[in-house]
Structure 1
């Protein structure tokens, strides 16, 4: 098997007996393994999660390119940049000259984050079709500047606008919070994974539903572990009774 065919989504590694049979390609299988390892290492506060994450999002970008999900391809670019930044932030001192520690958001930032999330989910769920159409168009045009010669795909209306909007917005916020070692990122990942399991199961993509079920348990463990670490670091949840105004 040459290197080019390895990246082909039609190069099946194994057919999983779920539904009518799910043909998992080599690139999807490897990308999924690296994604699971990335989240597990992050839950253990290991900086090694970032190189695994970079490989994961790169492989998934190739997959989304092949199946013409250009909005998701562009999302992988954001995750790639966030992983690069997170790797830097976790290994370099902050402005105060101290390395980042696991901690909770302050009350002000928590309320601001919740407000942004609610507003962004509401707007995206209302305008998700034109937003992703614009993302797909801009991605295709950018790739065609590199002589990719891609035809603009016909995009069907989103079947789950609210849930897709929640997955997208909360994933972006969670990734940013993870790069700064805020405990709340794991709460968001738990919610994202619960929604994802439901959406993928409803669409009959059972292999993805199983993957996100595994990610759900890893995120739950990450939340438990980081909450304990934050407590040792002297940080408490912003809305806890112990926190003064």
Structure 2
């Protein structure tokens, strides 16, 4: 199975595109679309996307991003549980000042720790960008599980870095995917902000349909 996933499905921009990257492209688009719609199905589809991209990233030596997908699977299961059991607010909300401080501290500590690990213990050729994008992506996913509107800003920032990073690694289809993600993140930010502005207190913010 792994041999098939890491074999070339097609060639794009002069570089081979593996089946893992191709399937990750398709599932990633569907996942982000469902997040914008606040549909609970984004979580299981996102978990499948994480597993596919983990294979694709490890294959090209993006070890930080590969291990990030493992954490995403855990966060995806957590988000699926919270959205599905009603144990989280059923409408979007703004990030509090205290939450911003905790996110900033966690982001700095995660970036420094991951940079040190990737530079010292792996063969990563881009430990700095790899660590930064990994840390910010984790924070953005955490914000998504709690329906924080500003989590979209974190995704926008990290996607701006991801696009050239994946191009540098010849993951051109994934770079294109994250360019589309960037556009979807802008739409998601606008949709969640509008919902925050107009939804009455206590109204549900997502659908099982």
Within the alignment, does 1:57 sit opposite 2:50 as a pair?
yes
Within the alignment, does 1:35 sit opposite 2:28 as a pair?
yes
Q: Which has the larger radius of gyration?
A: 1
Deviation at 1:126, TM superposition (A): 5.1
SS at the partner of 1:14? strand
Q: After alignment, is 81-90 or 63-72 more displaced?
A: 63-72
- 1:91 corresponds to which residue? 84
Deviation at 1:111, TM superposition (A): 2.4
- 1:180 corresponds to which residue? 146
Out of 8, 15, 19, the position equivalent to 2:5 is 8
Q: Report the number of matched residues.
A: 201
On the 8 A contact 1:34/1:52 being kept in 2, the answer is: yes
- 2:132 corresponds to which residue? 166
Q: 1:27 to 1:204 in 2, by over 3 A?
A: closer
Measured on the aligned residues, the alpha-carbon RMSD in Å equals 2.5
TM-score (norm. length: structure 1): 0.72
Deviation at 1:206, TM superposition (A): 3.2
1:66-85 equivalent positions in 2, closer than 5 A:
66-67=59-60, 70-85=63-78
Q: After alignment, is 58-67 or 105-114 more displaced?
A: 58-67
- 2:104 corresponds to which residue? 114
- 2:123 corresponds to which residue? 156
Q: 1:73 to 1:204 in 2, by over 3 A?
A: closer
Higher helix share: 2
Structure 2, unpaired ranges of 5+: 202-209
How far apart are the structure 2 equivalents of 1:201 and 1:67? 12
How far apart are the structure 2 equivalents of 1:197 and 1:81? 25
Q: 1:27 to 1:184 in 2, by over 3 A?
A: same
On the 8 A contact 2:65/2:134 being kept in 1, the answer is: no
Structure having greater relative contact order (Cα 8 Å, sep ≥ 6): 2
TM-score (norm. length: structure 2): 0.83
Deviation at 1:189, TM superposition (A): 0.4
How far apart are the structure 1 equivalents of 2:115 and 2:3? 36
